[in-house]
Structure 1
Amino acid sequence: MVELNNLIPATSNKTKTNSFNFYPNPVQDNFTISSEKIIKSLLIYDISGKLIISKTSID
């Protein structure tokens, strides 16, 4: 499970949704997350619900 918080629009177009792309699925070593909005924080959980990645500063 991936949770993205506080997405800030990169443009002023308010008709877009808070969507993002995550690939590859399934992940082996590395993955990519892309969004048209700025991601301020990222939480990733494993299948059992355990938090495995928590980032509050995304570069």
Structure 2
Amino acid sequence: FTILLRISASRMFFQYQQASVEQKELLQQLWQKQLRFECLVNPAGLPQIQLPTDSLEDAAE
């Protein structure tokens, strides 16, 4: 029984870590899209930055 609890706890911890990493990646994508949107709406209000080319390809999809 103790082994089952350890396995279950390890699995839950792994799932939590996996979800945490995915959430951070989604937040980064959201930040990039918000910044890109702000540049389109008010280009003079933000400093000129070089966006990665892969993020521009994502916007075209």
- Which structure: larger Rg? 2
Please report the TM-score for the alignment, with normalisation by the length of structure 2: 0.16
Larger RCO: Structure 1 or Structure 2 (Cα < 8 Å, ≥ 6 residues apart)?
Answer: 1
